[in-house]
């Protein structure tokens, strides 16, 4: 069961589908607040569990926390549709009220990946609020994949990266999104700009990459990505000292691919940085998994599930 | 929202109410269009009270208000042109998102930040 006309949200291992009008309002490394037109609709926090998971202990801890903040948290038996949706998890329902605010939620534990999640849906007292959509959202919830990759899908971007890449930095600003991941000594940056028509009005893609994308120092060559205009950036081969430093791993080497998606008025980019050279296959793997939601993806690329 | 009592700032107006407001241009503002289509906005800047007092102390005539100048980029111009005193912020956001194929939330943040900046400079008010 998925919400009609739903939208996939995937972040740091967690994936779920929300109604199309809901959007991430606050994003943390393992924390999301999803907003509807009326305000906050849903909040989710998650993390790995070390040792034995105890629902009672978690509920007690949560109760203490909310009591200190002037709210009364109580155990709550979720309705049947919630229980059906959460049959693959160990779960414990809760509800709290404080002044004009109230929420119902559940603490979940996945026995397969040993991830604990805390999800709550906000509902003003006397009204259903976001809780009316909860069962459908919970039915779509997944906290692990079986293919050794991690999905990322927020706003209009989708990415599927190998599991070893950890999120280091991210920024979602109007017109510019940036996510950076690191595994060992390799860094992957995913970028997205909009509206492309305005950004490319008085400069070509190479010039844009050098200036707006902050990739000065790279040498760009025109290419195409899936039939769309693109530029490939490589380190300039200049100076013996710099080349020697790069070959000794003293100076990081970058490669970049920036491409324009005219049909969506977006510019997408991937920057891979590492020491001792970068395997071209890394760029292809990342490119295969990165794109826009609703985009016609090349064969073999990540398709949202 | 979030956990009870965890709210940081006091919310003076809800997001929904804020989007229902209509921005209105300051009638003392003048604008001119450049050949590129971008707009330059001229607006009166009041002399800071302490500066006025210094001028008065020195026996000079009261400083006359000077014009501030703000050149808007293509996106700023698009929003500025949509401020007609009739369209609500919500309608401007919707039109801006459609014109530039932006996500609704992204367009909302961009427009609201821009209108807030215009308001801070006294170029627009909300009603």
ipTM of the complex: 0.74
CB distance from B102 to chain A under 8 Å? yes
pLDDT of residue A297: 56
Chain A hits for B4, CB-CB cut-off 8 Å, are: 66, 69-71, 96, 98-99, 101
pLDDT of residue A125: 66
Q: Is the pLDDT of residue A137 over 60?
A: yes
3-state DSSP helix/strand/coil % of chain B, to nearest 5: 40, 20, 40
Q: A23-81, pLDDT tens digit by residue?
A: 999 999 999 999 988 788 999 999 999 888 888 888 888 888 888 777 888 899 999 99
Chain A hits for B113, CB-CB cut-off 8 Å, are: 174
Q: Which domain holds residue B103?
A: 15-126
> Using the beta-carbon criterion (under 8 Å), do A66 and B110 form an inter-chain contact?
no
Burial of B70 per CB tally in 10 Å (0-12, 13-18, 19+): middle
Chain B nearest C-alpha distance from A103 (Å)? 9
Chain A hits for B2, CB-CB cut-off 8 Å, are: 33, 40, 43
For residue B59, what are the contacts with CB-CB under 8 A and spacing of at least 6? none
CB distance from B1 to chain A under 8 Å? yes
> Using the beta-carbon criterion (under 8 Å), do A38 and B16 form an inter-chain contact?
yes
Local confidence pLDDT in tens for the 127 residues of chain B: 566 655 445 556 778 888 999 999 999 899 999 988 899 999 888 777 777 777 777 776 655 667 789 999 999 999 999 999 999 999 999 999 999 999 888 999 999 999 999 999 899 999 8
Tell whether B25 is covered by a domain: yes
Chain B hits for A98, CB-CB cut-off 8 Å, are: 4-5
Count: domains in chain B: 1
pLDDT of residue A59: 85
Q: A261-284, pLDDT tens digit by residue?
A: 999 999 999 999 987 666 778 788
Q: What is the DSSP string of A281-298?
A: HHHHHHHHHEEETT--PP
List of domains in chain A = 6-139 (3.40.1000.10), 158-292 (3.40.1000)
- B4 and A98 Cβ atoms separated by less than 8 Å: yes
């Amino acid at each position: 069961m998925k919400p009609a006309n739903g939208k996939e949200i995937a972040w740091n291992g967690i994936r779920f589908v929300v109604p199309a009008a809901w959007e991430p309002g606050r994003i943390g490394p393992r924390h999301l607040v999803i907003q509807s037109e009326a305000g906050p609709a849903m909040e989710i926090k998650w993390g790995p569990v070390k040792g034995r998971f105890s629902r009672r202990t978690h509920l007690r801890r949560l109760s203490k926390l909310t009591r200190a903040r002037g709210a009364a948290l109580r155990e709550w038996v979720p309705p049947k549709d919630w229980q059906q949706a959460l049959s693959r998890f160990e779960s414990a329902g809760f509800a709290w009220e404080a002044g004009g605010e109230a929420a119902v939620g559940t603490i979940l534990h996945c026995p397969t990946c040993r991830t604990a999640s805390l999800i709550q849906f906000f509902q003003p007292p006397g009204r259903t609020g976001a809780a009316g959509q909860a069962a459908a959202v919970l039915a779509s919830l997944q906290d692990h994949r079986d293919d050794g990759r991690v999905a990322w899908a927020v706003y209009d971007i989708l990415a599927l990266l190998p599991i070893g890449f950890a999120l280091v930095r991210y920024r979602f600003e109007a017109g510019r999104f940036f996510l950076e991941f690191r595994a060992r000594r390799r860094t992957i940056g995913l970028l997205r700009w909009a509206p492309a028509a305005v950004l490319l009005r008085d400069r070509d893609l190479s010039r844009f990459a050098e200036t707006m994308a902050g990739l000065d120092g790279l040498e760009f060559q025109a290419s195409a990505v899936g039939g769309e205009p693109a530029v490939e950036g490589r380190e300039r081969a200049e100076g013996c000292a710099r080349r020697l430093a790069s070959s000794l791993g003293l100076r990081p080497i970058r490669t970049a691919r920036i491409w324009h998606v005219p049909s969506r008025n977006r510019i997408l980019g991937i920057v891979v940085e590492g020491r001792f050279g970068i395997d071209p296959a890394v760029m292809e793997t990342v490119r295969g998994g990165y794109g826009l939601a609703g985009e016609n993806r090349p064969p073999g690329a990540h398709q949202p599930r | 929202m979030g956990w009870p009592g965890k709210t940081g700032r006091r919310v003076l107006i809800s997001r929904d109410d804020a989007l229902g407001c209509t921005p209105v241009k300051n009638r003392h503002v003048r604008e001119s269009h450049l050949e590129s289509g971008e707009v330059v906005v001229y607006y009166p800047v009041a002399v800071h009270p302490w500066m006025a007092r210094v001028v008065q102390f020195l026996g000079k005539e009261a400083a006359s208000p000077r014009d501030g100048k703000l050149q808007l980029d293509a996106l700023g111009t698009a929003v500025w042109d949509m401020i007609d005193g009739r369209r609500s912020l919500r309608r401007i956001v919707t039109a801006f998102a459609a014109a530039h194929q932006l996500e609704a939330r992204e367009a909302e943040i961009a427009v609201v930040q821009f209108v807030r900046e215009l308001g801070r400079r006294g170029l627009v008010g909300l009603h």
